[in-house]
Amino acid sequence: MVDWDWQVFCKDTIDGNIVPGCFGRSGDITYLDWLLSAWGWTLSVSALALLVALALGSLMGILRTTPNRWLVLLGNAWTELFRNVPLLVQIFLWYHVVPALIPPLRDVPSFILVVMGLGLFTSARISEQVRAGIQSLAGGQRMAGLAMGFTLPQTYRHVLLPMAYRIIIPPLTSESMNIIKNSSVAFAVSISELTLFALQVQEETSRGVEVYLAVTGLYFFSAFAINRLALFIENRVRVPGMIGGGGH
Amino acid sequence: MIRCAAVVAFISLTTFAMPALAQDTGTLKKIKDSGSVTMGVRESSGGLSFTLGDGKFAGFHVELCQRALADVHQQLSMAKLDIKYQPVTSQNRIPLMQNGTVDIECGSTTNNAARQKDVSFAVTTYVEEVRIAVKANSGITSIGQLNGKNVATTTGTTSVQHLRKHERGAGVTFNEVYGKDHADSFLLLESGRAEAFVMDGQILAGNIAKSKNPHDFKIVGEVLAVEPIAIMLRKDDPDFKKAVDASLAAMMESGEMAKIYDKWFMQPIPPINTRIGLPASDATQAAWAAPNDKPMEDYAKQ
């Protein structure tokens, strides 16, 4: 029943002729070239958004566990704001609404906007995980750190965070895999990533099944690679005898 | 091969085992046996096929299909024919036609050679011209002036392919910006993120008509491509195609087709009573004058 046509990826994007070797020459591009560039966009958006999310999410998560009421309030407000608005809506707000209110933002490339949008959305989720990680530690840990003469930042740096981060590696792994999949919203603001590639190319070539299978495979491969990397990190940093650290 | 065998078995079954019903095969037989027919329609394809909400659909192609099916109803001398409406998208319309979920698709499907391998088309009822919409005060009048500019188009449409061909031919380069749907692409033009919006003429005209200030926009420049838009049918079903084609050709002949066109493209249409304001192009009128089901590739040769 199914007649595959994988040659579709060797076609030139302009005249639809099959190019020998599958890679376009002298400025012409084939669908395979386009697929790889789309994969690159997906990975770039995801990687940069993950950096933004880890930095801001950690900061906000830590603030929410400090003794200062105002800092806790700031962290809570941040988390609830970005967690309670759908991702696609946030992307549209950054792309269409915010530049209308602040005209200079119109010149910011949509790539930066989507990295920030996706990063901020994910930072709310990471903030929640960091907070949970820190609060799962026995209260005595913080007191012991302070009693040793550490300042509060030193207590976080040397006592609380090293344990909290080890505990939350599994949910952080899920979050990193999610960000690959969530990066598909970038198609809505014209980033030429995998989802846009699939929507556009299945229409141009009429070979939807092959195109979607290839794109699915790349998403799976990317997310799974992160999963394996996280597992490697988890094993490397494991401290026997600590929570989540060992024995099993 | 299994499909081939099934078709052979089906044909031999209908020709030999039931000689009395030999004249009604394929979709016609299905319609007669079930007393119903399923029409594939689009949620938002300009004046061709769109939803009025509440499961109701209307448009130029929807009305043509309703009339063609009324003729089929008469031809089969059935007591009652129940028309069901099934919304389709550009992604699923061909698979749904192949697996029998829809019997006749009345949307905005381009008849091209690649699709003719999977489905069949009735005679061309509308010829689309791919055009450029710009802001009226932009001073842009042709594709050559788009060099280095942002050009918007909608994800999942073929317009951008024509644009790329022109790009190479005319030696201009521009940035393709993809809107996720037509309304989004138009917003890119309206908000200044793109200097031009390249799309089917009737979609451009419809979006401009619906905008806040229709006078701020205009359609300019050369026709980038022509695409025959037709009602889609199942492949290898000559009887049903013949019935639909005959009905459409009669409407073209009598001038009824032009009247129906006028109703959907020149008069105010529901749901909000806007006018698309796009007279039938020369290419469309030529298709009515000489009914044919030539694919897009044949138009390009002319």
Q: Which residue in chain B has the smallest CA separation from A198?
A: B156
Task: Report the 10 Å Cβ neighbour count for A124.
Answer: 22
Contacts of A184 in chain B (CB under 8 A): none
Q: What is A11-236's CATH number?
A: 1.10.3720.10
Q: Do A190 and B156 touch (CB under 8 A)?
A: no
Residue B100 half-sphere exposure toward CB, CA atoms < 13 A: 9
Distance (Å, whole) CA A77 – CA A123? 12
Contact A50, A118 (CB under 8 A): no
Distance (Å, whole) CA A239 – CA A50? 25
Quick check: B23 pLDDT over 70? no
Tokens 């091969």 belong to B1
Angstroms from B263 CA to nearest CA on chain A: 30
Q: Do A192 and B168 touch (CB under 8 A)?
A: no
pLDDT of amino acid B6: 53
Q: Report, as an integer, the average pLDDT of B129-133.
A: 91
pLDDT tens string, chain A, 248 residues long: the values are 567 888 889 888 877 788 888 888 777 789 999 999 999 999 999 999 999 999 999 999 999 999 999 999 999 999 999 999 999 999 999 988 888 898 888 888 889 999 999 999 999 999 999 999 999 998 899 999 999 999 999 999 999 999 999 999 999 999 999 999 999 999 888 888 999 999 888 888 878 889 999 999 999 999 999 999 999 999 999 888 776 554 44
pLDDT of amino acid A2: 62
pLDDT digits (tens, 9 = 90+) for B236-293: 999 999 999 999 999 999 999 999 999 999 999 887 788 888 889 889 999 999 999 9
pLDDT of amino acid A52: 97
Q: Under 8 Å CB-to-CB from A176, ≥6 apart: which residues? A: A50, A226, A230
Question: Which residue in B119, B108, B112, B129 sits closest to B230, CA to CA?
Answer: B108
Contact B139, B213 (CB under 8 A): no
Contact A160, A87 (CB under 8 A): no
**Would you list which residues of chain B are within 8 Å, Cβ to Cβ, of chain A?**
2-3, 90-91, 94, 114-115, 118, 155-158, 160-161, 164-165, 168, 176-180, 184, 187-188, 191-193
Distance (Å, whole) CA B124 – CA B299? 12
pLDDT of amino acid B257: 95
Q: Tokens for A53?
A: 């999310």
The ipTM value here is 0.72
Quick check: B127 pLDDT over 90? yes
The answer, for A101 touching chain B at a CB cutoff of 8 Å, is no
Handedness of CA B183, A201, A180, A48 (dihedral sign): negative
Q: Which residue in chain A has the smallest CA separation from B117?
A: A206
Helix axes A31-63, A69-83, angle to 10 degrees: 150
Angstroms from B262 CA to nearest CA on chain A: 30
pLDDT of amino acid B83: 94
Q: Do B178 and A14 touch (CB under 8 A)?
A: no
Task: Report the 10 Å Cβ neighbour count for B188.
Answer: 25
What distance, in Å, lies between the first and last C-alpha atoms of chain A?
Answer: 49
Ordered by where they begin, the domains of chain B are 24-127+227-301 (3.40.190.10), 128-226 (3.40.190.10)
Q: Tokens for B128?
A: 């689309």
Q: Do B114 and A203 touch (CB under 8 A)?
A: no
Phi and psi for B76 in degrees, rounded to 5? Answer: -85, 0
Count of all residues that appear for chain A in the document: 248
Peptide bond into B271 cis (omega under 30): yes
Q: Do A188 and B192 touch (CB under 8 A)?
A: no
Quick check: B298 pLDDT over 50? yes
Quick check: B147 pLDDT over 80? yes
Quick check: B144 pLDDT over 50? yes
Across-strand partners of A154?
Answer: none
Distance (Å, whole) CA B155 – CA B229? 19
pLDDT of amino acid B96: 93
Angstroms from B185 CA to nearest CA on chain A: 10
pLDDT of amino acid B18: 43
Tokens 């495979």 belong to A217
Does this model's pTM top 0.90? My answer is no
Nearest CB to A190; choose among B158, B161, B178:
B178
Q: Tokens for A176?
A: 């990193």
Contacts of A209 in chain B (CB under 8 A): none
pLDDT of amino acid B40: 96
Highest mean pLDDT among A18-32, B64-78, B136-150, B160-174: B64-78
Distance (Å, whole) CA B21 – CA B29? 8
pLDDT of amino acid B162: 80
Angstroms from A2 CA to nearest CA on chain B: 10
Residue B102 confidence class, pLDDT cut points 50, 70, 90: very high
Residue that wins the pLDDT comparison between B63 and B271: B63
Give me the residue spans of the domains in chain A.
11-236
pLDDT of amino acid B248: 96
Phi and psi for B161 in degrees, rounded to 5? Answer: -65, -40
Nearest CB to A208; choose among B91, B180, B187:
B91
Distance (Å, whole) CA A176 – CA A199? 24
Question: Which residue in A214, A206, A164, A189 sits closest to A34, CA to CA?
Answer: A214
Interface with A, mutate which of B165, B193, B198, B224 (most A CBs under 10 A): B193
pLDDT of amino acid B256: 94
Contacts of A188 in chain B (CB under 8 A): 180, 184
